[in-house]
Structure 1
């Protein structure tokens, strides 16, 4: 169900008319939203790199995802293991972000946490004060309640699945190319 009010834990689905190359066909989880702005991570844009390429002390080949165009030199993480990662920030439905890096390193290197419990993102998606709300009102994004298991092996198929779930007028976009000029 589409909603117009943005809160932490919501999912943003890029409208087909959003031609921004970064956000084209993206699905974004909002991890923070307040009067200063919004922060989120793209869920469906895996990079072809393992986390140990970016942080050699992590003995893991967990996939890294493109989080967004902001601070792309930094690695962020979402997880569902606050019992292992102290100072985690709750998002919703047992989902957390951030927390003590040393805890993440230890949990991964001791095989206490698996790839279906933590996900890494290079950069994040960020919006300034009222920017995201304006984009929603301009129909750049569809806002829905969080009901995804973000630890599934999502790729660009997630966007199509969300369009199908929305139904109605959104179904026309299921078989169109990512670049409509290629149609």
Structure 2
């Protein structure tokens, strides 16, 4: 054992002594030979079969998937005048749901003090074609920022920004961000 520990320290494979399942094959050994104590794995590898759902991989048989709704995605809200970014939203929306949730990251439209502030959106409501988003990027727990929007097309909404305790109010666009692969 002392020889193995000393050899393990020299060769950098001390883990192979403590956890033999993580052993890296030595120079004269093939990668498949490290599975010699697991005949089931060798049988699968010999057949050229990839592990599947029966092996604990893949979707559950009773899993129910919900399609993404039309608001699902990354969005940029911008002040129409000067096209200054107000906030970036990541919205998670289930098909057919009138409410969604997500997070925000503030831009420069409200000044340097809030630029980079982030958090959870308080509410996203879709009533007919009307979309309302409420969030609070400030340290004032009573503050609320509101977007009230109507669609121009599926990736672009237009409307107004208002704040409960801030006199700011202006026209905004909310545009889905499409990222190239």
What is the TM-score when the length of structure 1 is the normalising length?
A: 0.26
- If asked which structure has higher relative contact order (CA below 8 Å, sep 6+), I would say 1
